[in-house]
Structure 1
Amino acid sequence: MKLLALLGGLLLPAVSLAANSTFLNPVLPGWHSDPSCLYHKASSTFFCATSTFIAFPGIPIYASKDLINWKLVSHVWNRESQLPGQSWNTTGQMDGMYAPTLRFHDEKFWVVCEYIGDGGGGQILTGLVGVLFWTTDPYSDASWSDPVIFYPNKIDPDLFWDSSDNKNPYVATQSVILQQLDLQSGNLTPQPALSLWNGTGGVWPEGPHLYKKDGYYYLMIAEGGTALNHAIMISRARNITGPYEPYANNPILTNRKTREYFQTVGHGDLFQDGAGNWWGMCLATRGGPDWKVYPMGREAVLFPVTWEEGQWPVLQPVRGRMSGWPSLPAPSKDIPGNGPFNGDPDVYDFVTAGEPIPRNLMYWRVPRPGAITTTAKGLQLVPSRNNVTGQMIPGKPTPELSGQRGMAFIGRRQTDTLFEYTVDLVGFRPGMVGSEAGVTVFLTQLNHIDLGVAMLADREMSFRFRIEAPPGAPVPETKVVPVPEAWRGQTIRLHVTTPNTTHYDLSASLTSDPASKITVGTAWAGLVSGGTGPFTGVLLGIFNTCNGAGQGEECPDGGDKAYWQRWRYTGKGQEIAMNEVV
């Protein structure tokens, strides 16, 4: 593979993948867990969906012509009216949209998912709730339907139509059990569900997908939990209801009990390209066998599959540098829609009122109406009473203070091992004690690294560097540095950068004077790896809060609004093996 030199001795691959059929994993870097993918013959396009849990908008749809360049073209769950009230009544950090399955049938794209939430009575859905969406245009948010609601007993629903004229699909879920789903009513039959196969004896047989090939029904599942014992198993039967014969050489894909850099390999899906070649996508984390530093969480990786007639599929082990079929689909970025490709830098100035929020930016739950808007002064964040943690505020947390009612936070996935993220805070001069606006390396409300510009109790405008992490983690003390007098009321650039593959630097400078840069704090990336966010990955973003002042959902007199411009994210390098950065 040809290589191009980059600053600091790093190397980046030239775009010559199709010639030698090699590629680098992850193909969807950053938090992209539980991928489900298909090939749409009519448009010669691959599509994938991934989990988002309580982040919103939820269930991104990516499109690609070549399996390498993936464009974010829509979100399935993109408006509050699809699940009214659900987000604000979801308390757990790992609740929300679990493990989608994406399929194409009867000229429609279908996504089935499981929403897990505590609920709050009334119309709010509680417990395990199935949600089925469809569209004829996967490039449009608005085209995604409101969900058909159904009530499975287990998580990770699959969708499988046994034939082209089969009206209602089969739904296989964790354990593994099988039912048929009525697409109109949401009824599941039979009751109780049919038991198909409980795996090979490992914990959590889940993430099932059914395939029909050469007269067999193949049932592929994840097993062993989502940590270091994660693996993919398979069985097959002549009838969809079984009995299922497990493959003698299970697991068919895993990196458990190895020294590989990619670990937790599992929860995958198989699909064909236009030439009939088989491929697979699954999740993996880049942390090595020590599994301590993996801030991007569970990412989506690609692997070739050999599947001869009447035989079991053979899945190529997941590595950072892969060899594919004799030729990958030709490189192309000819994809409709206005979303970014996953590897694109962010170049957002936020100087036009009413411009759309970029598609790759996310919230933690549905935001409050009007809390985050684009204006001529910048991206406006109206402060929320809760800070990024919520639970840190003294006293018994209420929904308004916990973050359930929408945090004034917006971020994007960290998609590179090494990167530079900067954003300009325009003329922020807080007038009330407790006001704070800043940047955050955010995993969950209980795992984040912040650099805020705050008005503290001594009425001193200061930079505040603080970390929230589980008890026992090696957390450095909160650091407070006064904002230089000459900076007050000026536009301040806040920086999050990676000095190496294991740490973050959080810094500030005057936008007008890059040489004025002050590094306020440095944090170990292990503090936002796993912990309270085992299913997610880091979001890099901005926040605004009055830190608990006020009543209900409102800060006093509406609080000190923050305006942000010149949002920039640039990838600098990907670690694809221990100590190998490209």
Structure 2
Amino acid sequence: MGRETVFTAVTWDAGEWPILNPVRGKMIGWPHAARLSGPDELGGLTANYPVVDGADDIDSFPPGSSLLVHFVHHRSKVEDAYVPSPRERHGWLKIVPSISNLTGPSSPSIISTQQDITFLARRQTASLFSFSVDLVFEPQVGSEEEAGITIFLTQSQHIELGIISQGTGKRKTRALRLHAASSGQPNASRLEPVIQEVPRSWSPDAPIRLSVVAEEDGTYVFSASSTSPAGKPSATIVLGRASSGIVSGGERRFVGTLVGVFATTNGAQINTRPATPAYVRRWKYTPIAQEISEGEYGYI
């Protein structure tokens, strides 16, 4: 989970040093609610915040709504890249592709507007979890335009399942692509790219549900489903399994892994028309269990 700050019980007798209970995988503390509410100590206002390690269950993004406070971006947030409930798709979150992809440009030390990454994520807070979003995306320019979900640690260590386009004209089809960047990691952690055409039986008007599940410590399973207008998944394609070793440090790891969505033109500068936006809703993150010692899980 990266560097964590935790509560632990302390005894502190007068005139003595404080004694902290050892921090272990399983600890006795006090229950907390799904949300914290009460006066805001900084502004004196009433606040109502989700607990960071809780679940996300966001069916829609209403007009004028704000992104949750525990959502994060890479570098600064480009406000225009995230539009809740745009006019053309009420209740969806419009995300506008960036030129840079998750790996970024070839010279990451030079910060420019072309380095802004359209990337919205939350922290992975449980060893075992599931995450999914419904995505509407009709890429127009081969494999240049791409949108999907990602497991992200650094710009050189991430895994993503995206939707791309293949072919041209009437032969153009959508495809699912599972690929990763695993710089600095052993070959055993590498992931060979997987590209699979979206079945023609999947309605182009129906969202595609992209999912990743950590069903065991050390492995992420990526899949895609067609959905009905009511949001019910039908046929499911399992694209593959990826080792968590890809996002397990090796390059100055100070924070934990993130899980979220992205959209990019993969370095292509599109001048003849706007980049094709992607639309997201039904954002679901469910913590399942925390590994408290090797092979032992505390289920949530």
User: Which TM-score band applies after superposition, normalised by the shorter structure?
Assistant: 0.7 to 0.9
Larger RCO: 1 or 2 (CA < 8 Å, sep 6+): 2
Unaligned runs of 5+ in 2: 39-46
TM-score, normalised on structure 2? Answer: 0.83
Aligned partner of residue 576 in structure 1, secondary structure: strand
CA contact (8 A) 1:383 1:555 kept: no
Counterparts of residues 373-522 of structure 1 (less than 5 Å) = 373-376=83-86, 377=89, 378-391=92-105, 399-400=111-112, 403=115, 406-426=116-136, 428-433=137-142, 434-456=144-166, 459-473=172-186, 474-487=189-202, 488-512=204-228, 514-522=233-241
Aligned residue for 1:319? 24
- Normalised to the residue count of structure 1, the TM-score between the two structures is 0.44
Contact 1:385 1:400 in 2 (8 A): no
Q: Is the 8 A contact 2:98 2:118 kept in 1?
A: yes
* Distance in 2, Cα, partners of 1:438 & 1:470: 21
SS of equivalent residue, structure 1 residue 357: coil
Residue 385 of structure 1 aligns with an amino acid whose one-letter code is: I
Cα offset, 1:446, TM superposition: 1.0
Quickly say closer, same or farther: Cα 1:303–1:379, change in 2 above 3 A.
same
Paired AA for residue 338 in structure 1: N
Distance 2:227 2:123 in 1: 24
Q: Given that residues 93 and 280 in structure 2 are in contact (C-alpha distance below 8 angstroms), is that contact kept between their aligned partners in structure 1?
A: yes
Alignment pair present for 1:578 and 2:294:
yes
Q: Helix, strand or coil for the counterpart of 1:321?
A: coil
Give the direction of change, closer, same or farther, for the CA distance of 1:400–1:321 in structure 2 (3 Å limit).
Answer: same
Residue 383 and residue 344 in structure 1: after superposition, are their counterparts in 2 closer, same or farther (change >3 A)?
A: same
**Aligned-residue offset at 1:353:** 2.0
In structure 1, distance between residues paired with 2:271 and 2:10: 55
Q: How many residues align?
A: 274
What secondary structure does 1:322 align onto?
coil
The equivalent of 2:43 in structure 1 is none
Distance apart, 1:313 and its partner CA: 2.1
Q: CA RMSD in A?
A: 2.3
1:558 to partner: Cα distance: 2.0
Structure 1 residues 308 and 475: CA distance shift in structure 2, 3 A = same
CA displacement 1:517-539 (0-9 Å, x = unmatched): 11112111121112235101111
1:527 aligns with 2:229: no
Structure 1 segments unaligned to the other structure (5+ residues): 1-295
1:356 equivalent to 2:66? Answer yes
CA–CA distance in structure 1, aligned partners of residues 271 and 238 of structure 2: 30
Q: Secondary structure in 1 aligned to 2:8?
A: strand
Are 2:36 and 2:51, in contact at CA under 8 Å, matched by a contact in 1? no
Change in CA separation of 1:457 and 1:367 when aligned onto 2, cut-off 3 Å: farther
Q: How high is the sequence identity, in percent, across the aligned residues?
A: 37
Deviations 1:271-315 (A, max 9, x none): xxxxxxxxxxxxxxxxxxxxxxxxx21222222222222222222
Structure 2 CA distance, aligned partners of 1:386 and 1:338? 35
Q: Which amino acid aligns with 2:175?
A: S
Quick check: which has more Rg, 1 or 2?
1
